[in-house]
Amino acid sequence: MTFIVGIFVNDAIAIAVWTSFSFHKPRLLYLLGKHRRMPGKSKELSRRHLVVGALGSLVLPVATHATARGIEEPTTEADARFMRMAIAEAALGDYPFGTVIVHDGDVLARGRNLDNQEKDPTAHGEMVAIRNFLKEHGPDLLKGTTLYTSGESCPMCMGAIVWCGIGRVVYGASIAQLATKIRQIMVTNSEIANKTSFLDIAITGGVLADEAMKLFK
């Protein structure tokens, strides 16, 4: 691949050409010959023509990312059972948000909102569950797990879910529903998943949403 950098300062042109000049040589020779055959034009090919011609012959690579996907999945038979566990955690939280993390059908970590107890505004149910999981099992086992949360994750928690490589998120009440009871950043899990170019995340929403919303007095 050839990279050409042209720097124009007071009509001075600096050109750096890396690797395969021979790939573009036929194109440049064609331009040179064509220029010399043009009547009324100087036979000398200027540096400016060289730059324009060379750039015209290039197809520069553009960095691309794999298509990001938030994959919507239907509810499974096990989802209601695990969601009830998450809702039970939520009922014990400073705010009614609870989470369980499941690996191969086993609950390996739980968490609930500990905002007030920990004096930590980042101690959301998902964050607490993730931290508990990491303490007990480490990061490798966390990849590909399913996280159940009583309420759709905020952008902070969803970002943590992405960086941990969690494979599926199942939530109860949606951001829109939660916003009728408590302050929310109005960015959905699907929006974040669809901007994540390096990971496919399965998302299932609305599981026992009414039960989750009943926790808000």
Catalytic site residue 126?
yes
Dihedral sign computed on CA atoms, order 132, 134, 135, 136: positive
Q: Considering the candidates 77, 89, 126, 152, report the single residue annotated as catalytic.
A: 126
Whole-number Cα distances in Å, 22 to 1, 30, 135: 11, 13, 57
Q: How far apart, in whole angstroms, are the C-alpha atoms of residue 138 and residue 134? A: 4
Q: Which residues are catalytic?
A: 126
